[in-house]
Amino acid sequence: MDDKRKVNILAGKGCKNTKSREAVINVLEAADTPVSAEEIFVRIIESGFSINISTVYRTLELLESKGLVAKTMMKDGRARFELVRGEHRHHLICTGCMKMVPIDCPIEALERDVGRKTRFDITGHKLELYGICPECKEE
């Protein structure tokens, strides 16, 4: 994502673009899988940018509240974050190593059916499947 698009995304949500917010977005954009706040902090520091861990947490909270970041709570008690890129995603999560593998949404039709039957205006859903990955099974 280019810098101009980042500014537009943040501005479109009523947020100022700061170097710290941009640094967090850069890490999330480069991540193949959801990452923790601590991992984001370390990657930013390793890039040579100075930031406080509290700034990372506040930025993630803001981005989540604006619908720009999705948060997944893990069984280890740590949250993982990923950019919302337009596509709807769920994850298969290894309870051994906490690896997360994206999966296609298997419940969109169910959501529509439940909404129709209950007359609820369903605004979203979340699905996480837990198991043991092949690498952890071998150990």
What are the boundaries of each domain within the chain? 1-85, 87-139
Residues 81/64, Cβ–Cβ less than 8 Å: yes
Tell me the CATH number for domain 87-139. 3.30.1490.190
Q: Quick: pLDDT tens for 64-96.
A: 999 899 898 887 888 999 998 766 778 888 888
Q: Quick: pLDDT tens for 12-67.
A: 888 888 999 999 999 999 998 899 999 999 999 999 999 999 999 999 999 999 98
CATH architecture of 1-85: Orthogonal Bundle (1.10)
CA 6 to each of CA 26, 33, 49: distance values in angstroms, whole numbers, following the listed order: 9, 20, 18
Q: pTM for the whole thing?
A: 0.73
Query: Would you say residue 122 has pLDDT above 80?
Result: yes
Q: What is the pLDDT of residue 6?
A: 54
Residues 83/71, Cβ–Cβ less than 8 Å: no
